[in-house]
Amino acid sequence: MTDNAPKRRLIRVLDGERLERPPLWMMRQAGRYLPEYRETRAKAGSFLNLCYSPDLATEVTLQPIRRFGFDGAILFSDILVIPDALGQRVRFVEGEGPRLDPIDFDKVEDLDPEIVLGKLEPVLEAVSRIRQALPGETTLLGFCGAPWTVATYMVAGRGTPDQGPARRAALGQRKAFTILIDRLVEASIRYLVAQLRAGADAVQVFDSWAGALDEEGFRAFAMEPMRRIVEGVRQQVPGARIIGFPKGANAFLPLYVRETGVNAVGLDWSVPFDFARNEVQKAVAIQGNLDPMRLIVGGDALDRGVDMVLEAFSDGPFIFNLGHGITPDAPVENVERMVRRVRGEPV
């Protein structure tokens, strides 16, 4: 962007402005609910091959922008490329989700954050290609997983319903687990800085399982690592804009916002509107928080959901989004309906 180009809408909100019509994007906006994604995905072979092919990753990042003109494009990748780049091999099993090599807790000290950028070169190449291909007004968001959420997969070797294996390790093997989190903090800082230098305009850190921790755990393994990531990234990229998404953090949100220094916080749909407006939005921009189920059901349930979110947050800095990722079974027509309603266009 040249110096005299207008500031992008999403960036204005991250800087604390309130816009008449909120900027809009969706978590997991490039994905299986889109026929064009399924087509590119089939060509790629494995899911990680899609993530590591700059051409294909660029193509799927742009697909939802072409269709819906969202204000934000999110880099197409996955939070599990970090363990993969650290040498803990990751596979995605069709219909079952991710599988990781077992982790050896006696060797966590050997995990080397310095090697991740070598392996993630194709992702950084995708970032600069995407930035070049995007319309000037679209914000490019980079991302990574938060250390705690990435650790839940590294420890269990797969997704689990209650993050039991990681919670058990955090309490029972605290020393080794703390080293693992420290290594992930270092790797995340390097990776986010590299994305910002390659052309990302802002970054989001996904802590999808923050809500599984008790207060001590939340402070030690969700909040403090995020504070260090924000500080570490801004040391190298002064003024870097960073969005935190600590899903399930709920009543911890005001503390999280104060302690971490994020520019905005993503809210899931369990956060009450009044609480978020009074305790969170006075300090930082809010992003969220439509229940993705409303996109599946559509009709009146969707319209009411959109209206409630708009009504709740439009008086302050606000980015319209879902409370978590869109699911593969969401009809594209319902996304169109949501987009038109947020923009105040006739349905």
Burial class of 9 by CB neighbour count within 10 A (0 to 12, 13 to 18, 19+): buried
Closest separation between CB of residue 39 and ligand CP3, Å?
A: 12
Is 324 annotated as ligand-binding? Answer: yes
Closer residue to ligand CP3 (CB): 127 or 316? 127
Instruction: Map residue 20 onto helix, strand or coil.
Output: coil
Is 30 annotated as ligand-binding? Answer: yes
Closest separation between CB of residue 150 and ligand CP3, Å?
A: 8
Q: What is the largest CA-CA distance in the chain?
A: 60
Active site residue 340: no
| CB-based burial, 32-57: b 16+ in 10 Å, e otherwise | ebbeebeebbeebeebbebbbbbebb
- Which residues, other chains included, contact 338 with Cβ-Cβ below 8 Å and sequence gap of 6+? 290, 295, 302, 306
From 12, 18, 28, 277, active-site residue:
28
Active site residue 153: yes
From 8, 9, 41, 241, active-site residue:
41
Position with the least CB separation from ligand CP3: 208
From 153, 183, 201, 294, active-site residue:
153
DSSP class of residue 101 equals: P
Closer residue to ligand CP3 (CB): 75 or 111? 75
Is 78 annotated as ligand-binding? Answer: yes
Residues 109 and 107: their CA atoms lie apart, in Å, by 5
Active site residue 28: yes
Residue type, 325: G
Judged by the rule CB under 6 A, the positions of this chain that interact with ligand CP3 are 27-32, 41, 47, 74, 76-80, 92, 97-98, 143, 145, 149, 159, 206, 208, 325
Annotated binding-site residues for substrate read 28-32, 78, 153, 208, 324
Q: Name the residues annotated as catalytic.
A: 28, 32, 41, 78, 153
